Amino acid sequence: MTESAVPRAIEILLVEDSPSDAMMTREALNNSKLVNKIEMVDNGEDALAFLRRQGRYAQARRPDLILLDLNLPRKNGREVLTEVKTDEALKSIPVVVLTSSRAEEDIVRSYGLHANCYVAKPVGFDELVRVVQSIRHFWFSVVTLPQGRVL
């Protein structure tokens, strides 16, 4: 196999404060049969530090996709989304809001803050696997994303 035939690892930043939801989402991503590199942070401040490569995240790689929960400590997901989508260096990274909220207000506000899509977390693991596989298929098989690393 030549070097160009080796699939590039897909870099995903999972921003999730619930250890059980993070574990299930990681497992669902691992079951999706795609070469993934999954980084995880559990609060909004660390998410922004990771994306800006600050402090202990100085060596972090720019993610191809952000999976963002809305209800986070230290900075909530809406604040993270606002900062990402107003930062010239970060705004091209697709952000999928993946949250337990089904509230219309959260959906409308997330899209108003330029979320690329909004997905309500399903309750069961099998359904979560299907949802995550759909996200993966759409963002990495259907959509063409920029390959350049800005950071």
Domains of the chain: 8-136 (3.40.50.2300)
Sequence-separated (6 or more) residues with CB below 8 Å from residue 103: none
Average predicted confidence (pLDDT) for the chain: 87
Q: pTM here?
A: 0.88
| CA distances, 134 to each of 15, 23, 28, 74, 79 (Å) | 19, 18, 11, 30, 26
Specify the pLDDT at position 150. Answer: 45
Task: List pLDDT tens digits, range 85-137.
Answer: 999 999 999 999 999 999 999 999 999 999 999 999 988 888 988 898 888 88
